Amino acid sequence: MKFDIGGRFGKFILSAGIYFKVDGWPNQKTVGITSKCEDGSHVLFADYDNTLFSEVMEDIKHVQNRYGVGNCIVLCNSEKYDSNGKQIGNYLLCFPVRLHFHKVREIMQCMRIDKRFIECCMRTPQKSWAIRIAAKHDRKTGNIIKPVPRFKCLVPGVMRHKVDADHLNFFRRFFMNTPAVKLGGNYDVELINYETGGDLKHGK
């Protein structure tokens, strides 16, 4: 189905998907990109809510060193400075590396992300993880609740697995404003139109 997000991703066909709130019907809608690769493997996503950026960086470096998952693309939904002058906010991570489903879950268990994000893949038709790439709208009024996530930084790391050029090039084009890399990818990624609510910490 097509989903109206201002034409930014207009050429993509979106799969239907819905993530339910814990305590009721979802009241917000948005668009996310799934972790699924064309060969059935998954890239590594992470979703942090109200977390110190220094802790996010510690997690990134830990999984890069332990698992060799390569570069990490960091998006930011909101950010501020706490009383100690440290950055704190909501962050989304993408490691564009092809991994087995169970390896992704294993790595996620080593990160300080909400455990419901790890398990949410089992509640979706796609059986994959997703992070938000568009503004979040009120389901009834259509008003924007949260803006489009913005690119924050790229954290370099050693790669010991196959790069997924499709996810890498998608983020380079739409968030990093840099040319695609010539790794054979052609933006063959899955976008989903989904509904959510504030009590399910997924796709913030």
Please tell me the predicted confidence (pLDDT) of residue 200: 40
CA distance 189 to 12: 9
- SS3 of 131-176: the string is EECCCEEECCCCCEEECCCEEEEEECCCECCCECHHHHHHHHHHCC
Please tell me the predicted confidence (pLDDT) of residue 190: 83
Angle subtended by helix axes 53-67 and 101-108, to nearest 10 = 130
Residues 29-50, buried b or exposed e (16+ Cβ, 10 A)?
A: bbbbbbbbbeeebbbbbbbbee
Strand order in the sheet with 150-155: 42-52, 87-99, 72-81, 150-155
Asked if 86 and 54 count as a contact pair (C-beta separation under 8 A), the reply is: yes
- The whole-model pTM stands at 0.84
Please tell me the predicted confidence (pLDDT) of residue 184: 56
Tens place of pLDDT per residue across the chain (204 aa):
233 333 344 444 444 444 434 445 568 888 889 999 989 999 999 999 999 999 999 999 999 999 999 999 999 999 999 999 999 999 999 999 999 999 999 999 999 998 889 988 877 777 899 999 999 999 889 899 999 999 999 999 999 999 999 999 889 988 987 766 665 555 578 888 877 764 443 334
Of 63, 74, 67, 72, nearest in space to 161 by CA:
67
> Which helix (DSSP H) or strand (DSSP E) does residue 58 occupy?
helix 53-67
Asked if 151 and 133 count as a contact pair (C-beta separation under 8 A), the reply is: no
Asked if 158 and 181 count as a contact pair (C-beta separation under 8 A), the reply is: no
Please tell me the predicted confidence (pLDDT) of residue 6: 35
Please tell me the predicted confidence (pLDDT) of residue 188: 75
Please tell me the predicted confidence (pLDDT) of residue 127: 85
Six-digit token string for 113: 């992300």
